[in-house]
C-alpha cells in the first residue's frame, strides 16, 4: 500500500511552524522599540521565512555551535538526523558584543521593516575556511557561495526564531504555497506519490524530458522554482516564472502538475545542496526528488554526477525521500527526440547539448535558442526579456 504524502512525516517527525500567533505578534510589537536590532540580508530573511513555514524542518531557529559543527563535518545534526547545509545568522563582532545571550533580538528585513524575533541562546565564532572546504569543497572566492560566506560577519547568533507575519509574496502571491498547504493540496488531488523538481533556470527541453519521464512513474509533479537570492547573471525570477507558466499551459497535463515558489536562497553548494533541496521538498510533502546533471553546481567545482553519488552516502530510506537520478539529456538528431545515453544509440556528433550558460550568451547576442533546446514560446519570452533588460 502506498503511503500518502500527507502522512509522510516532515524531516525530523513533524512540520515546524514558527509564525507568530496574533497574541505573540502583539507582544513582539510592544517590545519592538526596546529590542536590539539586526538588519537581515536577502538570504537571512529567506532563511527566517523557510524556518518559520516549516520548509527547513526540524530547524526552529538558527543553528547552535554543536549542530553547526556536526553539519559541516558529518552532514548530520548533533542528534544524527541527516542535514547537509549550515543555516546560520552571521554578524559583526561589534554587533555580537552588544547583545547578551538570553536576550530577545529584533530581526529587520533588508528594507528595515520588523520581520521577526530571535531568542538568542548562543553566540559563537566559526572557521570560514573550514566551512567553505567542507560544504562547498573549495575556499576560492570566485565561488558565489564561498564569497557570501567570506563576506559575512565572524560571529554566529543562534536560537529559536519567530516570523512576525506571513505576507503574500510581492511578485508571485498565487504561487506562494507553503508546506502545510502543499501537503493538503496533494491530499485533495489524490496524489500518493509526488516528485519535486528544483530549478533556478527556465525549463528547457532536457528539463521537460526528465520531468515527464518522472511523471510516468508518479502521480504528480511539484515544480518548485527557487525565487530567493541567486547570482547576478542568473535569469531573473519573474522572467523564469513566465516561462514556467507557458510550459505548464502548453506542454504539460494540467491535472498532473502543481507549481509553487521556493523562497530559499541558492548556495551553489552542488552535492551538499542536492541533499538540502531534497529534504526541503520532503517537508513540502514530496515522496521523490529529481537529481539531474550538476545539481546546484556552479563553474567546474563539482563533477557531473557528484550530486547523485552523495545520496549513496546515506543508508537506504534514511533521508525519507527517494532520489530520481537522471543522466544529461540531449536532443538526438538520429531519433529526432530528447534522450540520454541510456536510451539513444547516437554518436557524440548526433547529440545537441546546450547549457543554461550558453543560452544566456546566445540571448545576449540577440539569438534565439534552437527548438532542440527550448520550446519556441519560451525562447521568444527569454529573448524579449533580454532585449528589455538591455534597453533599460
pLDDT for 347: 94
99, 222: one domain: no
pLDDT at 51: 98
Q: Cα-flanking dihedrals φ and ψ of residue 116, to 5°?
A: -170, -175
| pLDDT reported for residue 392 | 63
Q: Do 305 and 183 share a domain, yes or no?
A: yes
Which stretches in the chain have pLDDT values below 70?
A: 1-6, 355-356, 392
Interval 14-61: pLDDT, tens: 999 999 999 999 999 999 999 999 999 999 999 999 999 999 999 999
Q: Answer whether residue 168 is part of any domain.
A: no
Q: Give the neighbor-by-neighbor strand order of the sheet with 337-339.
A: 337-339, 330-332, 351-352
The answer to whether position 170 is within a domain reads: no
pLDDT at 1: 35
The last residue of a domain, from among 163, 189, 221: 163
Looking at the structure, tell me whether residues 190 and 330 fall in a common domain. Answer: yes
Record the cell numbers describing residue 267, joined without a space: 548556495
User: Do 274 and 296 meet the contact criterion of CB atoms below 8 Å apart?
Assistant: yes
118 with 202, same domain: the answer is no
pLDDT 10s digits, 64-99: 999 999 999 999 999 999 999 999 999 999 999 999
Note whether 141 and 193 are same-domain residues: no
Number of compact structural domains in the chain: 2
Q: What's the rounded Cα separation, in Å, for the pair 327 and 313?
A: 19
The catalytic residues are 200-201
211 within a domain of the structure (yes/no): yes
Q: What is the CATH number of the domain that holds 220?
A: 3.40.50.620
Q: Of 290, 282, 277, nearest to 216 (Cα)?
A: 290
Whether 169 is in a domain gets the answer no
CA 63/CA 352 separation, integer angstroms: 44
pLDDT of residue 61: 98
| pLDDT for the residue 56 | 98
The three cell numbers of residue 293 are 546533471
- What range defines the domain where residue 11 resides? 5-163
CATH number at residue 17: 3.10.400.10
Check residue 321 and report its DSSP letter: S
Distance CA 178, CA 55 (A): 8
Amino acid at each position: 500500500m502506498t503511503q500518502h504524502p500527507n502522512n509522510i512525516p516532515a524531516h525530523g517527525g513533524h512540520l515546524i511552524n514558527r509564525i507568530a500567533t496574533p497574541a505573540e505578534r502583539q507582544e513582539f510589537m510592544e517590545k519592538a522599540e526596546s529590542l536590539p536590532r539586526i538588519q537581515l540580508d536577502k538570504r537571512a530573511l529567506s532563511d527566517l521565512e523557510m524556518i518559520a513555514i516549516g520548509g527547513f524542518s526540524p530547524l526552529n531557529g538558527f543553528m547552535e555551535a554543536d549542530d553547526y559543527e556536526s553539519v559541516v563535518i558529518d552532514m548530520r545534526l548533533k542528534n544524527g538526523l541527516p542535514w547537509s547545509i549550515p543555516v546560520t545568522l552571521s554578524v559583526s563582532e561589534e554587533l555580537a558584543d552588544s547583545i547578551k545571550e538570553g536576550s530577545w533580538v529584533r530581526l529587520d528585513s533588508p528594507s528595515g521593516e520588523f520581520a521577526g524575533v530571535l531568542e538568542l541562546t548562543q553566540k559563537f565564532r566559526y572557521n570560514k575556511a573550514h566551512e567553505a572546504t567542507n560544504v562547498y569543497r573549495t575556499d576560492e572566492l570566485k565561488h558565489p557561495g564561498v564569497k557570501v560566506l567570506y563576506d559575512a560577519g565572524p560571529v554566529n547568533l543562534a536560537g529559536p526564531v519567530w516570523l512576525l507575519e506571513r505576507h503574500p509574496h510581492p511578485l508571485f502571491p498565487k504561487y506562494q504555497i507553503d508546506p502545510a498547504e502543499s501537503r493538503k493540496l496533494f491530499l485533495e488531488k489524490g496524489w500518493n506519490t509526488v516528485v519535486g523538481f528544483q530549478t533556478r533556470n527556465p525549463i528547457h527541453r532536457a528539463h521537460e524530458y526528465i520531468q515527464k519521464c518522472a511523471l510516468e512513474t508518479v502521480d504528480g509533479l511539484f515544480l518548485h522554482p527557487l525565487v530567493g537570492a541567486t547570482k547576478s547573471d542568473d535569469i531573473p525570477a519573474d522572467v523564469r516564472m513566465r516561462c514556467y507558466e507557458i510550459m505548464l499551459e502548453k506542454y504539460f497535463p494540467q491535472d498532473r502538475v502543481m507549481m509553487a515558489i521556493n523562497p530559499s536562497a541558492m548556495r551553489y553548494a552542488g552535492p551538499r545542496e542536492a541533499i538540502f533541496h531534497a529534504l526541503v521538498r520532503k517537508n513540502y510533502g514530496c515522496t521523490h526528488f529529481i537529481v539531474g546533471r550538476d545539481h546546484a553546481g556552479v563553474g567546474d567545482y563539482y563533477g557531473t554526477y557528484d550530486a547523485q553519488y552523495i545520496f549513496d552516502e546515506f543508508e537506504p530510506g534514511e533521508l525519507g525521500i527517494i532520489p530520481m537520478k537522471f543522466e544529461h539529456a540531449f536532443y538526438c538528431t538520429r531519433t529526432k527526440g530528447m534522450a540520454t545515453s541510456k536510451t539513444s544509440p547516437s554518436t557524440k556528433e548526433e547529440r545537441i547539448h546546450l547549457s543554461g550558460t550558453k543560452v544566456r550568451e546566445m540571448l545576449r547576442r540577440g539569438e534565439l535558442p534552437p527548438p532542440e533546446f527550448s520550446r519556441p514560446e519560451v525562447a521568444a519570452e527569454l529573448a524579449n526579456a533580454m532585449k528589455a533588460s538591455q534597453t533599460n
